[in-house]
Chains A and B, each alone.
Chain A
Amino acid sequence: MIELRNVSKTYPNGTKGLNRINLTIGKGEFVVIVGLSGAGKSTMLRSINRLHEITDGEILIEGKSITKASGAGLRRIRRDIGMVFQSFNLVKRSSVMRNVLAGRVGYHSTLRTVLGLFPKEDINLALNALERVNILEKAYIRADQLSGGQQQRVAIARVLAQEAKIILADEPVASLDPLTTKQVMDDLKKINQELGITTIVNLHYIDLAREYATRIIGLRAGEVVFDGPVAEATDEVFAEIYGRPIKKDELLGEAAL
């Protein structure tokens, strides 16, 4: 369970990034956050694992405050939260396997990981994660040899190997073409359903959000302006979130879906 209590973020220059956000996200939910760029989607997602600091309020992960945690305690909480990024964030020169194993480093001592002495179970975990996203045969290939969609699936495998209980995905399909977009979203959905991992995704495309989400949260200027099941997220609601009618480039298109 993730709880955001009165979370605010004010930048040094005075801009409000997030404004008094209160949310509770339950286990196993598939939440999609929508909003214009600059509405605070990415800031909110990155506040949950504290890649961004908040200036006010508190965030609780499974009842523990990540806001107050520090050092080893903070790393222990982060270990349970996997993250998928828009630009994949793989080490391009390293092999796929090494990128996936990087998800395991939080579980072991520095010395052990630096020497590359991952236990057999970790290796199996990593291989199984790759199998789940259908790129097992690429395990020992350098990450920069893969296409964008394949790289994003490696990133998802990294999260799986991490045995995360929560997945945060920040615009995971923004740099992909419509066909790969669908494959990556299917992967995320499958993992969410089969393993019961709580998943929070920032998305730009409205039709994708409707197709995959169980719950949609609309952000506008750092505030939650909509929070409800997909059925309630009508075109009028989206127009309200965006402050204007939906534009064509906010739809991925029927062809891909």
Chain B
Amino acid sequence: MKRRIWLRWTIVVALVLIYVWTFAGIEFNGIKPTAGKITRSIFEGIFSPDWDYVYLPDGEDLLRGLLETLQISILGSVISAIVCIPFAFWSASRKGKSKAASGSGKFVLSFIRTFPELVMAILFTKAVGPGSFAGALALGLHSIGMLGKLFAEEVENMDSGPTEALVATGANRLQVLWFAVIPQVLPGFLSYSLYRFEINVRSATILGFVGAGGIGTPLIFALSSRSWDRVGIILLGIIVMVTIIDLISGYLRRKLA
């Protein structure tokens, strides 16, 4: 009982200290006088968007921007879904496998996961030049961290019975993999890849901020040139696209389960 009271007070004191430290360090210089006006302009922009921007016959419009965003996320997801497979088998801990092997794999994956994708995108724009390809590579590399972890869990939870049965029929390693392992893990792999695709669509909308392609490019221009009606239509476009993708992907994932 006494220990519980102690624990409670330690938590309270720790929290108070954390918050004092946090808020003492935040400078607040008041809200800019223009803030209200700009907020109103943004809302006006969203409610009376620049409909003409949806489709322009000669290039750079909303639909093409969104399509490019989608393409970046498709490529990024496919790249990571393929590249993460060896990582998944490396980091999956199974009976009769050394802890060091799976542990090192898990560490590499959490390292990749922690590396911010936007920074990755910047580095790729330096390497392959600005544009969608850099964005797709950044998403592809960053997603390995999460997908590899989820795939590894799928492998860990796999029933080892079918593998044993295939070995018993005289199948070789590849045949065991193809007939016992892949049919068991494939639906899970596909489902997680779709889930990651949903996340990647969101991420791809901002890659343009650092020059890595997609709808983010016109958005950052519209923001800096304060054309709020264009910001409004792009925001609407993003919301609609993300919602539709979530619905389709969610439907497909339910079918896979």
Q: Is B204 an interface residue (CB 8 A)?
A: no
The A83-140 residues at the B interface (CB cut-off 8 A) are 83, 85, 87-94, 98, 102-103, 105-106, 110, 113-114
Q: Verify A106–B169 contact, CB threshold 8 A.
A: yes
Q: Is A190 an interface residue (CB 8 A)?
A: no
Given A76-B170, A93-B184, A94-B183, A105 and B175 contact (CB-CB distance below 8 Å): yes
Given A93-B184, A102-B180, A113-B179, 9 new contacts (CB under 8 A): A90-B162, A93-B183, A103-B169, A106-B169, A113-B175, A113-B178, A114-B175, A114-B178, A158-B169
Residues of chain B within 8 A (CB-CB) of A72 are 172
Given A114-B175, A114-B178, A102 and B187 contact (CB-CB distance below 8 Å): no
- 27 contacting pairs across A/B (C-beta < 8 A): A72-B172, A74-B170, A76-B170, A78-B167, A78-B168, A78-B169, A78-B170, A83-B168, A85-B161, A89-B161, A89-B164, A90-B165, A91-B162, A91-B179, A91-B184, A92-B184, A93-B183, A102-B165, A102-B169, A102-B180, A105-B169, A105-B175, A106-B169, A110-B175, A113-B179, A114-B175, A158-B169
Alpha-carbon gap, A93 to B191, bound state (A): 15
Q: Is B174 an interface residue (CB 8 A)?
A: yes
Which residue of B165, B174, B175, B184 is within 8 Å of A85 (Cβ)?
Answer: B165
Q: Verify A51–B178 contact, CB threshold 8 A.
A: no
Size of chain B's interface in residues, with CB distance under 8 A? 20
Q: Verify B169–A79 contact, CB threshold 8 A.
A: yes
Q: Is A20 an interface residue (CB 8 A)?
A: no
Q: Is B210 an interface residue (CB 8 A)?
A: no
Q: Is B171 an interface residue (CB 8 A)?
A: yes
The B173-204 residues at the A interface (CB cut-off 8 A) are 174-175, 178-180, 183-184, 187
Q: Verify B170–A102 contact, CB threshold 8 A.
A: no
- Interface SS of chain B: helix, strand, loop or mixed? helix
Residues of chain B within 8 A (CB-CB) of A103 are 169
Residues of chain B within 8 A (CB-CB) of A94 are 183
Q: Is A210 an interface residue (CB 8 A)?
A: no
Residues of chain B within 8 A (CB-CB) of A106 are 169-171, 175
Q: Verify A102–B166 contact, CB threshold 8 A.
A: yes
Q: Verify A105–B171 contact, CB threshold 8 A.
A: yes
Residues of chain A within 8 A (CB-CB) of B183 are 91, 93-94, 98
CB proximity of A73 to chain B, nearest CB, Å: 10
A-B CB proximity, top 10 nearest? A106-B170, A89-B161, A79-B170, A78-B170, A89-B165, A75-B170, A83-B168, A105-B175, A91-B162, A105-B171
Alpha-carbon gap, A109 to B56, bound state (A): 56
Residues of chain B within 8 A (CB-CB) of A113 are 175, 178-179
Residues of chain B within 8 A (CB-CB) of A93 are 183-184, 187
Alpha-carbon gap, A49 to B178, bound state (A): 21
Chain A, residues 52-91, CB within 8 Å of chain B (1/0): the string is 0000000000000000000010111111111101011111
Q: Verify A88–B161 contact, CB threshold 8 A.
A: yes
Q: Is A197 an interface residue (CB 8 A)?
A: no
Alpha-carbon gap, A103 to B180, bound state (A): 11
Q: Verify A82–B174 contact, CB threshold 8 A.
A: no
CB proximity of A40 to chain B, nearest CB, Å: 18
Write the chain A residue with the least CB distance to B171: A105
Write the chain B residue with the least CB distance to A76: B170
Residues of chain A within 8 A (CB-CB) of B180 are 91, 102
CB proximity of A187 to chain B, nearest CB, Å: 17
Residues of chain B within 8 A (CB-CB) of A78 are 167-170
Q: Verify B184–A105 contact, CB threshold 8 A.
A: no
Q: Is A184 an interface residue (CB 8 A)?
A: no
